Structure 1
Amino acid sequence: MTTQETIKKAVDYAKENNIKNIVVATTTGGNLTYLEDEKDLHIVGVTNVYDQGRNQMLEEIRKHFEEAGMDIVTAGHALSGAERCFSTYFGGYGPIEIVANTLRMFSQGVKVCVEVSTMALDAGKIPYQEKIVAIAGSGRGADTVVLLTPSYTRSILDTKVHKIIEMPE
C-alpha cells in the first residue's frame, strides 16, 4: 500500500467512525501534503528533534502547514528521549526502550503511532482520553494506521491500542 493509500484509509476510517483527531508522524512534512484538503479533521503533524539546535522540518514548511490549519509538534522521542542518553552512556536498556522494542514486535510503524500520539498529547494538541487515529511508517512515508487512546509520557502504559487498521506484513 502506498503512502497516499494508507493516509486515505486513515481519513476514511476517521470520518466513518466520528474520530476528529489524526496524528501523523512526519520528518520533513511529506506525509502532511496528503492531508491539506482535510478541513473537517484536526491534523497534528509530529516531527522530532534531529540534533542539537537542528530540525529536519524547515521553518517555511512548518508555517505552510500551520497556515493550512494543522498543528505541528517538534519534540524528543517519547519512547527513547532522555533514556537513550543513559543507555548509550552506561550500556543496557531502560524500561522505555523495552516498551519501544515490544511495540516493534508488531511493526516499527505501530511503535511510532504510539510514540507520536503521546508526543502530541504531551504538547496539548489533542484531547486527553479521546480516541484518535495515528499514521506512521517504517521509514519514509506511511504504512501504518492505528486507532488508539494515548496517554501522557508519564503514564504511557495507560495508552490503549484499540485497533491496528493498517500495517505491513
Structure 2
Amino acid sequence: MYWSQKGPVNTNETIALAVKRARELSIDHIVVASCSGETAKKLIGKVPYVICVTHHVGFTAPGEDEMPPGMREELAAKGVRLLTTTHLMGGLDRGVRNKFGGVYPAEIIAQTLRILGQGLKVCVEIAVMALDAGLIPAGKEVVAVAGTGTGADTAAVILPAHANHFFDTKVKEIICKPREF
C-alpha cells in the first residue's frame, strides 16, 4: 500500500495493515517507533508483544524526555516493552559530525536507507535496536512500524540482525509507505 502523503494522517491505517500482516504471517512482535507513546498505545491488545522504541533522553534538549510523565508506566502496565537509548544510526558518529564535520559510516547507511523514506530507515533501525536490547527473539521476523515525523506511515516485515552483523538484516516486505516523502 502506498500513501499519497506522508505523516500522521496514515497512522490508523498503517497500524491496521501492520497488525493484519503480522497475523497473516504468525508474527508475534511489532516494534514501533513512538516518542510520545501514542502510536504504541494503538497497538495494545492487537498482537502478543509490542516493543516501543523512543528517542533517547536529551534528543530534543539536554535531559528532556519526549514521553509525557506517566506514559511509560501506563504502557508498561499494559505489557508494552520500552526501549529508550541512543539510536543505532545516530550515536557517536553524529556526535563526531556535530563537533568536527564530515560524514561517517552510520550516517551513510542511514542516508542510503532514506532513499526509500524516513519511515523505512527507522523501521530497520528500531528492529535492530530491539534485537540488540534482547526485546525480540533472534532469527525471527518482526513487523516494524515507524513514520515521517510524528505518527506512523510505514510498516515492514524485517528479519533483523544484531548491529555487529547489520548487513545480515533483511527487509522481507514493505507493507506500506508514503509515495511522496
TM-score class, shorter-chain normalisation, is: over 0.9
Structure 1: which 5+ runs fail to align?
A: none
Note the aligned Cα RMSD (angstroms).
Answer: 1.2
Report the TM-score, using the length of structure 1 for normalisation: 0.95
Alignment match, 1:86 = 96
Q: C-alpha separation between the residues in 2 aligned to 1:126 and 1:159?
A: 14
Aligned equivalent of 1:49, options 56, 73, 78: 56
- Which string of whole-angstrom CA distances, capped at 9 and with x for unpartnered residues, describes residues 75-107 of structure 1? 111111111011121211101100000000000
Question: Is 2:45 the partner of 1:34?
Answer: no
Q: Give the length in aligned residue pairs.
A: 168
1:8-27 pair list within 5 angstroms: 8-27=16-35
Runs of 4+ in 1 over 3 A off after TM superposition: none
Query: What's the CA shift for 1:115?
Result: 0.8
Alignment match, 1:6 = 14
Q: C-alpha separation between the residues in 2 aligned to 1:72 and 1:26?
A: 10
Q: C-alpha separation between the residues in 2 aligned to 1:101 and 1:7?
A: 25
- Which string of whole-angstrom CA distances, capped at 9 and with x for unpartnered residues, describes residues 25-55 of structure 1? 00110101211232x4211000011414321
Q: Please identify, of 135-144 and 56-65, the stretch whose mean Cα deviation from structure 2 is larger.
A: 56-65
Alignment match, 2:139 = 129
Alpha-carbon contact 2:160-2:169 (below 8 Å) kept: yes
- Which string of whole-angstrom CA distances, capped at 9 and with x for unpartnered residues, describes residues 126-145 of structure 1? 01121000000011100000
* Greater relative contact order (CA < 8 Å, ≥ 6 in sequence): 2
Q: C-alpha separation between the residues in 1 aligned to 2:149 and 2:72?
A: 20
1:62-141 pair list within 5 angstroms: 62-141=72-151
Alignment match, 1:148 = 158
Alignment match, 1:161 = 171
Q: C-alpha separation between the residues in 2 aligned to 1:76 and 1:31?
A: 20
Structure 2: which 5+ runs fail to align?
A: 4-9
